[in-house]
Amino acid sequence: MTHASKAIPITGLGCLCAAGGTVPEVVETLFAGQRNVQYRPAGGHRYPVFQLASKDAPPGYFEGPECERCGRLAVTAAREALVHAGLTDEHLQTRTVGVCIGTTVGSAMNNEAFYRLFREGRMPGIEPIRRYLRTNPASMVARALGLTGPCQTIVNACSSGSVAIGHAGAWVKAGICDVAIAGGADMLCNVIHAGFLSLLITDSEPCRPFDRHRQGLNLGEGAGVVVLESEQSVRRRDAAVQARLCGYGNACDAYHISAPEPTGRGLKQAIALAMAEAQVAPHEIDFINAHGTGTPENDRVEGRVFPELFPGVPFSSTKGFTGHTLGASGGIEAVITTMCLQRKQVVANIGFEEPDPEFAGQPVVENTPIRGRYGLSDSVAFGGNNAVLILQEAGA
């Protein structure tokens, strides 16, 4: 059984991505089985991407400086999460509130105009660099909301959002802050898109996680944020609890810069750490929100590890609806995992049709009922980093 006193209440959720501009919209799209795919030209071809609809983008998102986009996504998700949590300005001013945001694109100076001038042999101005130095996503959230607690941006490839939530959970648990806004944010970027194309891990069709004929990922963009809050703060304002963060594990397999260790050594270690902290047994996990990028290597590892450690436990990837949002994915999937616990239902793994004979695990292909007590969300990232969150339903 979980030690409830150590599990951290989640009191608010915020999310925007290609599946919708708010948490309710995203959930409705997923459970309706609807894909909002767009196509982006590159190298004479068109590739599927999961881009924010114009109506869902933050004000100035497409018109403003590129380097501010990740931060704008994070701010938008954070505002939704705070409203959902019922945290007012007065609450925020009387508590120590931290911000921890994971990103990948938001950590680099992705400014095509700046690069283009260099390639043309001209010297670009200094303003893009100054602007970049002001657009750390976590700092943008803290400035926008007037927060003065601990503030950190996590850059740990595609596990960044999960690591940010685990890291912020440790702040709350240690009493460093009363409230922490945590998750991930990443934008679609032509430079990053070209990089994944050059690695030959981008599918020319809408992605097919765990399917035998999968060819790779489709990039997406968005942000997912949770509000973590101490038990004392929750009691002081009699707040509703959405779920609890009861386990976190993080481990690097130190195998390859862009491929997981084939036996899943690092993923297994991260799972073991999260399970130990949550103090739950494998049979108590009701479902798994898989990283499930649609790349051959990643899906093969998860497809072998899940049936070995969690026989019979349903799992699915939601990247067929959101695309791979890189550093945002762990945050977005923590929000989706929480909503699955509340609905007591797992989202169907869209895109899967034929089992891969190289592994035993097969995702659910229909929205599937569950008990809904514990959900596990994992991230399997470049650099061999693996991060796992275990979430518990609010009443468990």
Q: Which amino acid is at 352?
A: F
Helices (H), 310-380: 319-322, 329-343
DSSP 86: T
Q: Which amino acid is at 116?
A: R
Options 67, 177, 324, 340, the catalytic residue:
324
Residue 293 burial (10 A CB sphere; 0-12, 13-18, 19+): buried
CA pair distance 75, 225, nearest whole angstrom:
9
Asked if 177 is an active-site residue, the reply is no
| HSE-CB for 349 with a 13 A CA cutoff | 27
CA pair distance 243, 240, nearest whole angstrom:
9
Options 84, 91, 167, 291, the catalytic residue:
291
Q: What is each CA distance from 336 to 34, 92, 125, 136, 230, in whole angstroms?
A: 15, 25, 42, 25, 22
Asked if 324 is an active-site residue, the reply is yes
Name residues whose C-beta falls within 8 Å of residue 236's C-beta, 6 or more positions apart in sequence. Answer: none
- Helices and strands (H and E) in the chain: how many: 13, 14
Asked if 291 is an active-site residue, the reply is yes
Residue 215 burial (10 A CB sphere; 0-12, 13-18, 19+): middle
- Would you tell me how many other CB atoms lie within 10 Å of the CB of residue 231? 16
Reading the block at residue 100, the tokens are 């921890």
What is the β-pairing status of strands 315-317 and 287-290? parallel
CA pair distance 114, 55, nearest whole angstrom:
28
Q: Which amino acid is at 53?
A: A
Listing DSSP states for 100-154 in one string gives EEE-SGGGS---HHHHHHHHTT----SHHHHHHHT--HHHHHHHHHT--S-EEEE
CA pair distance 273, 282, nearest whole angstrom:
13
Options 15, 158, 189, 252, the catalytic residue:
158
Please identify every residue annotated as catalytic: 158, 291, 324
